[in-house]
Structure formats: C-alpha cells, structure tokens
Amino acid sequence: MYHPHADEMVQMAMGMMGFWIIHPKDPAAMRVERDFVFLLNAYAIEPGSATPRVNEMTDFNLWTFNSRAFPGIDPLVVRQHDRGRIRVGNLSMTNHPIHMHGHEFVVVGTDGGWPPPASRWPEVSVDIAVGQMRAIEFDASEPGDWALHCHKSHHTMNPMAHEVPTMIGVDQSSVLRKINKLIPDYMVMGDKGGSMGEMEMALPDNTLPMMGGQGPYGSMEMGGMFSMVKVRAGLARNDYRDPGWYRAPAGSVAYEWQGPAAAMPPASQAPAQNPAGSGNAGESVVNVVKPTAHHHS
C-alpha cells in the first residue's frame, strides 16, 4: 500500500493513498481467473461541504471501497467455478471486518506475502487492521448476488447523525406538528426504527444518502462499504460487466406466509431442557456448582 508520510493527516484525509500489486513473473504462480483489489478508506465530509475535514481522528462519516460507496459502486463479477481473489487494504483509521456471503473463502495473503498452504485458514469474515492488507480467495461455486461488506453496521451507512437521543417508542406526533409550522419539510424519525433507507428526504449538495440502493425486492438499506459478488455461469473470460440482478430459481425465494400460523405446542409437551430429569418437563434447570471452602487438616 502507498500513502505519503509528508503532511500525512491532511494527505490521507483527502484520499492520497493507493495499492501496489506486483504480479509474479510466472503467470501460473497463485493463478486465479478473477482478481480484484480495493482499498478501505474513510472521509469526514460535512453535508454540503466539498472538502474533507482534515483534522478528524476517528469520527468519519463516509465509508468507502476505493472511494466509492454503495450503491455507486461496481459489483465484483465472477464466472461460476472460477477462482476469485480479492485483495483488501486498509488505510482508514479503524479496523474493518470484511464479510462475504454465499461462499467460504481462504485467507491466502498478507502484507508479508503468501503464507504456506498449511497455514491458510477458511473464513467468512476477515478483520483487516489499520495499515494491513489481506488477500482472500474462493471458488465461485454458487451462482447469485452475494453481499460483500464491512461487518460494522455503521460502516454500511453514510453521513449519519449519531449525536441524537434514542427515540424508539417515543410519540413525537405533537412535536412534529409544532415543528412543521416552522419547518414544513421536517420529518421525525426513529420512533419505530428501521426503514430509513426508504425515507425520501431532500439532501444537501455534495453528500450521499445514509443508505439505500434498490434491489430486486425493494430498498436494500445499505450504503458505504458494501458491494456484491455476482457469480454467473457462462460469462466470457474477461467480462466484468454488471450482469444485472440474479434470477433466483423458482421456489428458492423466501416469501411472506399468508396462511394460518402453526400452533405452538403447549409447554407441557415441549421437550425437557434438562436430560438429567431433575426439573419438571419444560422447565430449564440451571445447576450451579458453588465453590466450597478448602479444609486443610
């Protein structure tokens, strides 16, 4: 990874960073069919401002892969049964547990090179500390659109005001009427949680929605460090074009059950939680072993 050590905080806050990849002389060494690379970076940009706040230390508000944020980011397109590699480097000021859906991957590379095969390990999330890179590889066995994202929930969101009280369960309707007399467009939020991605609020220039992205089933409510690995059969060798949304086979998509709810078994018929039989059926019994005093004679 590259970044300057001159005027470092300013230069990095404004995005001066990059990746070096040195390809092996022997193209058969560590061969993969699909090779991706992205830097994890973050910015502190006030809504309406065009210049990042350069003196920020920890409280960034734009979380990006290669300075792109979902949904304004390309998917990682992989032909089914190809071997895929993703190299991820972190030049932000916090760690990022990068998580991939649909496949187990193997951590095959660090900043120090390729560890011997016996010391590579299977994963679905790999934490990438500040100043580190990791290379992961996977066999793209499963066709579909698979989320690839940082697992910190606020890193899949963008400019988010978080210095606000929790409003879950608070009836704000009378307050809203009063505020709307002064500010007609004001919206209260947070009393039920969720669905922020579907709120349509006017945004100032030079900022991004907190989350959004329309998927085949509605709003995805994702932003920031999020993209998708799109695995498809029959792609051409160097075809990285977005194939669109995956068409799930009939019968493989979850749906809302509209019929009668299944009856819950009465508690008396539920299996006993304690196989030792020291409690009544259906009760869970916790046996506590208390430390006993040691007697020395």
Could you list the residues that contact Cu ion (CB under 5 A)?
Answer: 96, 150, 152, 155
Q: Give me the least distance between CB of 152 and Cu ion, in Å please.
A: 4
CB closer to Cu ion, 79 vs 87? 87
> What is the DSSP secondary-structure string of 56-107?
-SS---EEEETTB-BTSS--EEEETT-EEEEEEEE-SSS-EEEEESSS-EEE
Question: What is the number of alpha carbons within 13 Å of residue 100 lying toward its C-beta?
Answer: 28
Tokens read off for 102: 């649909």
CB closer to Cu ion, 53 vs 152? 152
CB closer to Cu ion, 78 vs 150? 150
CB closer to Cu ion, 34 vs 155? 155
Q: Give me the least distance between CB of 129 and Cu ion, in Å please.
A: 11
CB closer to Cu ion, 65 vs 138? 65
Token match 């991957």: residue? 105
CA 267 to CA 280: how far, in whole Å?
11
CA 96 to CA 148: how far, in whole Å?
12
CA 90 to CA 134: how far, in whole Å?
9
CB closer to Cu ion, 85 vs 155? 155
Name the region of 278 (left: φ>0; alpha: ψ -120 to 50; beta: rest). Answer: alpha
Contacts of 126 (CB under 8 A, 6+ apart): 88, 97, 98, 105, 107, 134, 136
Q: Give me the least distance between CB of 155 and Cu ion, in Å please.
A: 3
CA 216 to CA 220: how far, in whole Å?
9
Q: Give me the least distance between CB of 84 and Cu ion, in Å please.
A: 21
Nearest in space to 10 (alpha carbons), one of 50, 44, 47: 44
CB closer to Cu ion, 34 vs 96? 96
CB closer to Cu ion, 143 vs 226? 226
CA 228 to CA 36: how far, in whole Å?
12
Q: Give me the least distance between CB of 208 and Cu ion, in Å please.
A: 16
Q: Give me the least distance between CB of 204 and Cu ion, in Å please.
A: 25
Q: Give me the least distance between CB of 224 and Cu ion, in Å please.
A: 8
Q: What is the DSSP letter of 176?
A: H
Do the Cβ atoms of 163 and 68 come closer than 8 Å? no
Q: Give me the least distance between CB of 274 and Cu ion, in Å please.
A: 42
